[in-house]
Structures are given as structure tokens and as C-alpha cells.
Amino acid sequence: DAKTTQPTSMDCAEGRAANLPCNHSTISGNEYVYWYRQIHSQGPQYIIHGLKNNETNEMASLIITEDRKSSTLILPHATLRDTAVYYCIVRVSSGTYKYIFGTGTRLKVLA
């Protein structure tokens, strides 16, 4: 079973920040949080990942709560091309480090 829960869908106005929450209350101490997005009929695209500290790259910022039970992906200035399904994944920390995908959040950026 997936170790994350996300809202099914969200809308965001173009140019505004999109804040996508993720709950991972059963995360273990050495498990990373990864975010990917999937645009229709394509393979998932890596966005960002983190362990306990907040992270930022050219695509997004990742805010992880101090207890690590939840996180938020922030797209600072959403564009129409950011419309996609966003997956928050806690990578299994043993064996082959596989991903178990949850249902994801369908983000729609509105003009």
C-alpha cells in the first residue's frame, strides 16, 4: 500500500503559487520523500526530493514538517504547462528502494 495520501485534485490560477500537500505519517527515519509529476500519456518527471530539510531547485520547493509526517510541494509561479498529476512518494528504504505510487493530485492551472 502507498504510504502517502494527497488530495485528489486542486486548481491554481496561472502565475500564482501552487501548494500541494502530502501526508506521510508512517514515514521512517531514513526514508526520503520524492515528488514527481506526470503529464498526460507521458512518463513521470522527477521534481525534487528531501529527507528532513527544506529543499529548493529550479522547478520547485519542498517543505517538510519537523516531525516529517507531512510535506508541501510549492510551484512558485504556476503556468499552464504545470497542469499534471503530482505524485508524492515515500521510497521504501530497504532492499531495492522501490517506489509505491499513491493516487496523486491532479493539478489544473487556470488561465
Partner 1 sequence: GAVVSQHPSWVICKSGTSVKIECRSLDFQATTMFWYRQFPKQSLMLMATSNEGSKATYEQGVEKDKFLINHASLTLSTLTVTSAHPEDSSFYICSASAGRGMVNEQFFGPGTRLTVL
Binding stretches for partner 1 (CB under 8 A): 2, 30, 32, 34, 36, 38, 41-46, 49, 87, 93, 96-104
Q: How far is the CB of 16 from partner 1 (least distance, A)?
A: 26
- The contacts of residue 67 (CB under 8 Å, 6+ apart) are none
For residue 70, count other CB atoms closer than 10 A to its CB.
18
> Nearer to partner 1 by C-beta: 16 or 54?
54
Question: How many whole angstroms separate alpha carbon 11 and alpha carbon 3?
Answer: 24
> Nearer to partner 1 by C-beta: 36 or 73?
36
